[in-house]
Amino acid sequence: MVELKNVSVKYPSGVEALKNVNLTINDGDFAFVVGSSGAGKSTLIKLILREIEATKGTVIVNGFNLSKLKRDKIPKLRRTIGVVFQDFRLIPNMTVYENIAFVLRVIDAPLKYIRKRVPYVISLVGLQHKVHSYPDELSGGEQQRVALARALVNDPQLIIADEPTGNIDPELSYEIVELLKGINNCGTTILMVTHEHDLVRHFGGRIISINSGSVVFDEIIGGNDEIK
Amino acid sequence: MRLNSVKYLFKQGTRNIAYNKLMAFASFCVLLVSLLLVGFSLLFYVNINLLVADIEAKNEVIVFLDEDTSDERINSINKSLKAMENIDTVVFYSKEEAFAHLKASMADSEVLFDSMGDDNPLVDSFKIRIKDINFTDETVSEIEKLDNILSIRAPLEFVDILTGLKRVISIISVSIIIALIIVSMVIISNTTKASVFARRKEISIMKYVGATNAFIRIPFFVEGMLTGILSGVAATLTTWFGYDALVRVLTQDNDILKIFGTGSLVPFKDLALSVAVSYMVAGAVLGAIGCVISTRKHLKV
């Protein structure tokens, strides 16, 4: 669960990226966060990942009160969140298997579990045949699926997808969102930042629109796939 | 942390060297050059000290005794000299030995010695080696207080020059070594910073998936340490061949060292173990610390 109460973020440059934001994303939600460039979407993600701190207000993520969270506890928070970035951010000198297994290494998971869990997650994103490939040997869509597998391998409570379809072909974009929807159906909360309105219209669901640092729209709308 | 995880992190460290070959090679070269610069400076210092010690050892104080000093008194003076703190060795040199030596050294003047017959104009003496030449003055004063001392011949001016020379050499050598260490540290730090900067994205990804700082640093630590040890091994081999070649040139071909009044440099085999250990420990410490410190900035994600 993500809860923002009267949250404002002001950067040292004086730019006020978020202004008195109140937002609750419940467990099991699937929410699209939309908004133009500079609206405050990235700031929202940085805030949830505790990359930055709120200047004002309270942020609670998966039970962690971020304004009271000590620096050495940040890794613990991040282990409850899976992140998918627009530019994939895979470690280039690790294979598909190693990139995904790395998340489990970080939490000191037993080797037996890693050997069982990683192939399973790879099969979920349909990349069984690319297990030993390196990121630069994969297409954009495949890299994003690896990033997705990495995000869900440790069974996080929340997955944040920051423009996950921004660097891939439009037809693959639908595939990625379908995958996210599938993960969401299993109970994981998904927060997807995007500026692709076609995608949002197609899938529908909860739409949070941010403009100039404020939440200007937060409603559930029906998608085209539902209408069909 | 599970043993399996520790093994994994060490394996990652060694793999990183292979993956980041170019940067690892740059770090290796910088460490190697730094170790060699400091190492050769230290070897130079060790040899200069040996040279000075050699000259110091040749320094001799001669104590002449009064004519007709009794054997009993000679024994007593011998004991007193040996009891003095700053005296290393005491050798009695009888007037007969001295006369025979004089005759042998002046073989051309046989006529002169023949005219003297058995009349020996020389006196008994003691040849003394001083432990610390800095206190020659004090030791001479102490000897002068003994009875039956005719005179003392001590190279006080030479001692002054040697002591001054030693001090200057020490100051220059230590200053050069310190300067080289500082320059090396700066170069090493910049190289590791560049190496870590190239991998800042990798570090940020690790942070996003919840890796602790220690988890991220250990492979860097291992990588830096291994690069340092490899530099240490290479520095030892280079020093070994370089130093041996230098010793060969200076001792066999040109006899340059004889100009300085010494026969040889310290052989490498006498220093091999300490040189190898110092190089490897210094390499490992510098490499590891350099890598770990350089990651700090990028860990604030």
Q: Which of A191, A224, A151 is nearest to A32 (CA)?
A: A191
Best of A89, A105, A159, A160 to substitute, by most chain B Cβ atoms within 10 angstroms, is A105
Residue predicted with more confidence, B38 or B190: B38
Q: What is the length of chain B?
A: 301
What ranges in A62-214 are assigned the alpha helix state H?
Answer: 74-78, 96-106, 111-124, 140-152, 170-185, 197-203
Of residues B204, B209, B301, nearest to A106 (C-beta): B209
**In sequence order, what are the beta bridge partners of B208?**
none
Best of A102, A143, A148, A150 to substitute, by most chain B Cβ atoms within 10 angstroms, is A102
B258: helix, coil or strand?
helix
A112 domain residue, yes or no: yes
Whole-number Cα distances in Å, B157 to B2, B133, B161, B163: 70, 11, 6, 10
A171 domain residue, yes or no: no
A51 inside 8 A of chain B by CB: yes
Lowest mean pLDDT among A96-105, A118-127, A170-179, B233-242: A170-179
Query: pLDDT tens-digit profile of B197-228?
Result: 877 888 888 899 999 888 888 888 898 899 89
**Chain A CA closest to residue B207:** A75
| Model confidence at B261: pLDDT above 60 | no
Task: Tell me the chain A residues in contact with residue B2 when contact means C-beta distances shorter than 8 Å.
Answer: 108, 110-111
Q: Which pLDDT band holds residue B262 (cuts at 50, 70, 90)?
A: low
Q: What is the length of chain A?
A: 228
A94 domain residue, yes or no: yes
A3 domain residue, yes or no: no
Task: Tell me the chain A residues in contact with residue B207 when contact means C-beta distances shorter than 8 Å.
Answer: 75, 78
| Model confidence at A228: pLDDT above 50 | no
A122 domain residue, yes or no: yes
- Structural domain range at position A95: 89-155
Give dist(CA A154, CA B147) in Å, integer.
95
Give dist(CA A142, CA B101) in Å, integer.
98
The pLDDT of B6-29, averaged and rounded, is: 86
- Rounded to the nearest integer, the mean pLDDT of chain B is 84
The pLDDT of A123-149, averaged and rounded, is: 94
- Residue corresponding to tokens 């970080």: A106
Residue predicted with more confidence, B299 or A79: A79
A226 to chain B nearest CA, in Å?
Answer: 34
Q: Do B1 and A108 touch (CB under 8 A)?
A: yes
B204 inside 8 A of chain A by CB: yes
At A227 the pLDDT is 40
Compute CA B5 distance to the chain's CA centroid, rounded to the nearest angstrom: 44
ipTM for the predicted complex:
0.85
Count how many domains chain A has.
1
Q: What pTM value is reported for the model?
A: 0.71
A198 domain residue, yes or no: no
A227 domain residue, yes or no: no
CATH architecture of B60-154: 2-Layer Sandwich (3.30)
A29 domain residue, yes or no: no
Domain boundaries of chain B, sorted by first residue:
3-56+161-299, 60-154
